[in-house]
Amino acid sequence: MDLYEHQARELFAEHGILVPRAEVTDSVKEAREIARRLGGRVVVKAQVKTGGRGKAGGVQLAADPAAAEITARQILGMDIKGHTVRTVMLAQPVDMEREFYVSYVLDRMAGTFLAIASTEGGMEIEEVAATRPEAVARIPVDPAEGVTTARAAQIAEAAGLPPQTVDVLVRLWAVLTSEDAVLVEVNPLVRTADGQILALDGKVTLDDNARFRRERWGTREVAHDDPLEAEAAAKGLNYVKLDGEVGVIGNGAGLVMSTLDVVAGCGARPANFLDIGGGASARTMADGLNVILSDPAVKSVLVNVFGGITACDAVADGIVKALGSVRLTKPLVVRLDGNNAARGRTILDDRAHPLIRQAATMDDAARQAADLARTANPL
């Protein structure tokens, strides 16, 4: 369950993380009044559950209340990657000196969390991660130990963050644990000219299994602006639509995120995040493939699975059985590793589907998927 930015910032503030003053509205006239209350000059930000708002024109600076009304009128109703903007947040602008990136994310495969941090926050963080991975620190966090001040200092040092961010790292962990979150992200976390550390943007994903404890956000099914996300949610899939051409299926959030990075490093763009978790039944695979193949932007599909509790032969059997209910129209690259990987590869070899290829490593699988996306023609 993803929260809107203004909801994430609300949680940050409750846990003592500084955020600029802001208000939310769906009215252009009220936008003028909010801007007046906030001092006149404001940043108007589209509230949608997707990235890339700035590049799409969904984040703009307004010089005064009249300009804020005009800007809100321009942004409300805008389509950003299939998400319609229905509300905007107006926030006080900040005199930034440095931008950083910090987040905690669940790594299901490792049974732990990852702290991800960089001194190069902002709109280009995905490009930084893809082209210069050494600029992004990834530090495991044992959930039983958590993030103490000492552990936060280690994370900050590993990422090259200034000492003032240690307190934020501790408090951000408190947001994750106390709010049943599987992802908390601040991008950018900024240092102002007067030395304050503020969260200018935030993303929080709550564990759907704990939704009954989060009534403040509503316990009913979450409405999805993107039809593919709505379809996936109805089937119980952990799916996020992205702006790319290579469909990605993996088991474990950490593995899927790594796969996205590797695909990007091969010069292609991931079309989605789809984590099948510990289950890879024929039904799960069929549902996942159906959703991904329904995306007209997808040109190839990459299945990257590390067999653990769910063995690779069960995954391969699920793929084969899924082909009975799914018409495969785009090339599918499969990388199996771990428990019963050899047996899984044999199952796929015996099926001998003309659009299925196998790869021995994640890097090779990503390269094949990226190459196929550049050349494939849907059947």
Known catalytic residues are 101, 185
The bridge status of strand 238-241 relative to strand 246-250 is unpaired
Q: Is 15 exposed, middle or buried (0-12, 13-18, 19+ CB in 10 A)?
A: middle
d(CA 261, CA 267): 10
Structure tokens of 35? 């801007």
Nearest residue to 333 (alpha-carbon basis) of 372, 296, 295, 294: 372
Structure tokens of 57? 């024109």
Contact 260, 250 (CB under 8 A): no
Who contacts 370 (Cβ-Cβ below 8 Å, separation ≥6)?
246, 263, 266, 267, 268, 300
Residue with tokens 């304050």: 196
d(CA 259, CA 134): 16
Helix, strand or coil for residue 281? Answer: coil
Residue with tokens 């003592």: 16
Structure tokens of 34? 């909010």
Helix, strand or coil for residue 74? Answer: helix
d(CA 369, CA 301): 7
Q: Which amino acid is at 99?
A: E
Q: Which amino acid is at 151?
A: R
Residue with tokens 């709010």: 179
Contact 50, 81 (CB under 8 A): yes
User: What crossing angle do the helices spanning 149-159 and 166-178 adopt, rounded to 10°?
Assistant: 120
Nearest residue to 184 (alpha-carbon basis) of 321, 359, 53, 12: 12
Nearest residue to 237 (alpha-carbon basis) of 284, 270, 278: 284
**Residue 306, beta-bridge partner list:** 337
Q: Which helix (H) or strand (E) holds 240?
A: strand 238-241
